[in-house]
Amino acid sequence: MRSAKIRLYVEHPLGEGQTVPLTRDQAHYLFGVMRLSVGDALLLFDGVSGEFLAEVSQADRRGGTLICRTQVRPVQSPPDLWLLFAPIKKARTDFIVEKATELGAARILPVQTDHTNADRIRRDRLQAHAVEAAEQCGGTVVPDVADLVRLEAVLAQWPADRHLMFCDETLAGPSSSVAEVFAKGTPGAILIGPEGGFSPAERTRLAAMPQARAVSLGPRILRADTAAVAALTLWQAALGDWHSAGGDHPLAAATEDLT
Ligand code: SAH
């Protein structure tokens, strides 16, 4: 087997010795675009089983089969963090989905707010962007991209235990640390508004939710796509998976061995 450079997400259960049939699009990509042939290696993940080294066992332009060899990484789920954002122009919305995937959002929920211009999204296209971003960034899980729904509908069903980091442009100014506002280890969500910001009715609704806290993203007004990246970064650094827990640290294990 030649060394594996390609990572591919497949909607098929993976396991050692498992054969994986390819869709027409996957076969076109692997054999037509990337020029792989029988015997070549690649990496596969299915979102639940981790990452596997696999080999092409049969190839043609319209289909083919892969065989899973060994698991090379266990699945690594991102923290339970949702990103709610109001869709903006197409390229910027694509950017938000791509960056949210890279930054480890578990679920992406486009929401229609009072000042959102978009009244529909291409969910399948956005989901494909999330798949591509996960393939490229080494993720073993692909965040689910939900259909566009009204913000008030999402808030009406909001889980009691999920905190909501409401990024409020009217608070632009010095910000308190996310770690002081929310408890680590609880399910969380981030809400980013559209270019037009939030309406008074939405502010009133959010202010009445015990799970929601309005936060500032610093002294300047950011574009929605920048705000999404900044908020995800703050959340991950304070509450997410950027720092391993003490026990997972290699030195912690080494210290245990010494005692
Ligand atoms: N038109 C609005 C700005 C909207 S910016 C105005 O001029 O006030 C788009 C979204 O990004 C906002 O709804 C908010 O969720 C987020 N955002 C941008 N800058 C922010 C900041 N400094 N603090 C908190 N949220 C911010």
Of 206, 211, 203, 156, residue with least CA distance to 183: 211
Question: In the chain, how many domains are there?
Answer: 2
In a domain, 244, yes or no: no
Structural domain including 232 reads: 81-239
What are the tokens at 196? 């037009």
Residue 81 CA, chain-centre distance (Å), reads 9
Given 26, 46, 73, the domain boundary residue is 73
**Residues lining ligand 1, CB < 6 A?**
167-169, 171-172, 192-193, 195-198, 216-218, 220-222, 224, 227
Distance 149 CA to ligand 1 centre (A): 20
Could you tell me if residue 120 is inside a domain? Answer: yes
The CA 5 to ligand 1 mean position distance, Å, reads 40
Mutation probe of ligand 1 site: the residue of 92, 99, 167 with most atoms within 8 A of C-beta: 167
Measured CA to CA, the distance from residue 136 to residue 227 in angstroms comes to 23
Which residue lies with its CA nearest to atom 6 of ligand 1? 197
- CATH code at position 143: 3.40.1280.10
Could you read off the pLDDT of 4-43 as tens digits, one per residue? 789 999 999 999 999 999 999 999 999 999 999 999 999 9
- Based on the domain organization, do 61 and 88 belong to the same domain? no
Enter the DSSP assignment of 210: T
pLDDT over 80 (residue 194): yes
Rounded CA separation 94/59 (Å): 32
Residues 85 and 210 in one domain: yes
Percent of all residues in the chain with a pLDDT value above 90, rounded to a whole number: 86
Q: Under 8 Å CB-to-CB from 79, ≥6 apart: which residues?
A: 104, 106, 188, 236, 239, 240, 241
Could you tell me if residue 254 is inside a domain? no
Q: Are residues 20 and 93 in the same domain?
A: no
Residue 247 has pLDDT above 50, yes or no: no
pLDDT score recorded for residue 212: 97
CA distance 198 to 26: 41
Over range 220-237, report the average pLDDT. Answer: 97
- Side-chain-side CA neighbours of 7 within 13 Å: the count stands at 19
Q: How many CB atoms lie within 10 A of CB 139?
A: 24
Same domain assignment for residues 18 and 146? no
Q: Quick one: average pLDDT of 147-174?
A: 96
Mean pLDDT, rounded, of the chain: 92
**Per-residue model confidence (pLDDT) at position 2:** 55
Q: Which position has the token pair 């066992």?
A: 57
With beta carbons less than 8 A apart as the criterion, state whether 174 and 221 touch. no
- pLDDT for residue 74: 96
pLDDT tens-place string over residues 170-180? 999 988 889 99
Residues 98-149: tens digit of each pLDDT? 999 999 999 999 999 999 988 899 999 999 999 999 999 999 999 999 999 9
The CATH number linked to 15 is 2.40.240.20
17/125 Cα distance (integer angstroms): 32
Residue 94 has pLDDT above 60, yes or no: yes
Q: Please tell me the distance between residue 185's alpha carbon and the centre of ligand 1 in angstroms.
A: 26
Asked if 111 and 195 sit in the same domain, the reply is: yes
| Residue at 246 is within a domain | no
Q: How confident is the model at residue 3 (pLDDT cuts 50, 70, 90)?
A: low
One domain for residues 125 and 183: yes
Confirm whether 55 is domain-assigned.
Answer: yes
**Mean pLDDT, residues 77-89:** 95
The reported pLDDT for the residue numbered 259 is 42
